[in-house]
Amino acid sequence: MTNVQPLKGKVAVITGAGRGIGQAIAIGFARAGAAVCCTARTESQLAGTVERIEEADGRARAVSCDVTDVESVKRVFARAQEAFGGVDIVVASAGSAIENKSVEESTPALWRETIDTNLLGVFHTAHAAVPHLKRRGGGHIITLGSGMGHRSSATRSAYAASKAGLWMLTRVLAQELAAANICVNELVPGPVLTDFIRGREDQLRAIAAGGEWMKEPEEVLSLALFIATQPLKGPTGQTFSLARREL
């Protein structure tokens, strides 16, 4: 018999939960039985996520946070501990893609902002999460990667560099935390029809030779659930991908 609530009794912290992939995972994990601490910078978006979870009789808390500020991130985990008694699963979904120019034409401040959010933000999240996960005897960290972190793409230097660094950080964390029963894996969703992608579908199809799967955020959920429900002696330091091309 299929377990309709495979995350019952678990507590998840989801960054970037105000919209897009993070919101879809937060709502889906709550439906799967987890208590969810939802965090993002925009309080109104977080309120909408929590409202949808609670309307379906799920448990959730909204905590506004800027992942580039480590103290802000630490407060999120303290609130999750206070509200739900611990943390078992962390999904580092907060991300930014604000530069789409050649290196020569890029704005240094925006380039740095992308790195700060996509790479330093995940470092802050993991740094704050690890003590809480260890107190539970283990758990899962899922990082939201990108095919651009594995293969270069012209005009995407900031985003590609941030995601390449994220993939290395994922592997280092997996090595450091294996003995503590904390699995750290990368989820590469491929193109998802978020605000960043919409209107650029033809460009992305051309890059992928026309065969890429353009998906809605909700279609990433099943893979996130698969990773989060693996045994703690299971895969770590791996990339799980929904792309229809080589990474």
For the annotated catalytic residues, the residue numbers are: 159
Q: CB of 189 within 8 A of CB of 149?
A: no
| Partner residues linked to 143 by β-bridges | 92, 186
How many angstroms separate the Cα of 157 from the Cα of each of 53, 163, 217, 226, 238?
Answer: 37, 10, 24, 31, 23
Q: CB of 37 within 8 A of CB of 63?
A: yes
Give the integer Cα–Cα distance in Å for 116 and 70: 11
**97 alpha carbon, distance to own chain's centre:** 14
The amino acid sitting at 120 is L
Burial class of residue 30 (count of CB atoms within 10 Å of its CB; 0-12, 13-18, 19+): buried
Distance separating the N- and C-terminal Cα atoms of the chain: 35
